[in-house]
Amino acid sequence: MIRQATTADAAAIAAIYNHYVLNTTVTFEEQTVTTEQMAERIEQVQNDALPWLVLERSGDLLGYAYATKWRVRSAYRFSVESTVYVKDAVTTKGIGSQLYQQLLAELKALGLHLVIGGITLPNDKSVALHEKFGFEKCGHFHQVGFKFEQWRDVGYWQKLL
């Protein structure tokens, strides 16, 4: 079941996310996120009238996807950045695809025009997910982040809705 997240989901979402914070470079956060901080993030996305979705199966939250404003200037109001995370144990089960399909449909229904995905490189799985949904690479920043004692590149993919 895919549904809108609530702040009651914050602990499960933080648990999924913190795995990536501590063990990967897919996020440039270096400190784990508390349940309270995650609840605030969920509220901010929803206050901006954007979707934050979770995929739940038998009471277990397996992944989430959401969109945030791309920039604060009003001319950017039809562009968003997308995010999707899946519980580490189930990353090859199509959960990310299910979430992305629903997220993109909801963003289109909201009248948004452009979705942007930022990907720490290399990350073949994330690139494949984005390209599966029609995203095209539009930019590449070299050595823009520093995590785990290494400089990291970030590529940007975009999709017109």
Quick one: pLDDT at residue 92?
79
Joined tokens for residue 87: 């519980």
Backbone angles phi, psi at 126, to 5 degrees: -70, -40
Which CATH number goes with the domain that contains 135? 3.40.630.30
What angle, 0 to 180 degrees and rounded to 10, lies between the N-to-C axes of helices 124-132 and 95-109? 40
Where does residue 7 rank: exposed (0-12), middle (13-18), buried (19+ CB within 10 A)?
Answer: middle
Tokens 């720490």, residue?
Answer: 120
What pLDDT shows up at residue 29?
97
For 135, the domain range is: 2-160
Reading the block at residue 35, the tokens are 């349940």
For the four alpha carbons of 24, 36, 10 and 106, in that order, the dihedral sign comes to: negative
pLDDT tens, N- to C-terminus, the chain (161 residues): 999 999 999 999 999 999 999 999 999 999 999 999 999 999 999 999 999 999 999 999 999 999 999 999 999 999 999 999 999 988 878 999 999 999 999 999 999 999 999 999 999 999 999 999 999 999 999 999 999 999 999 999 999 99
Total domain count, the chain:
1
Contact assessment for residue 96 and residue 86, using Cβ atoms and an 8 Å cutoff: yes
DSSP single-letter state for residue 24:
-
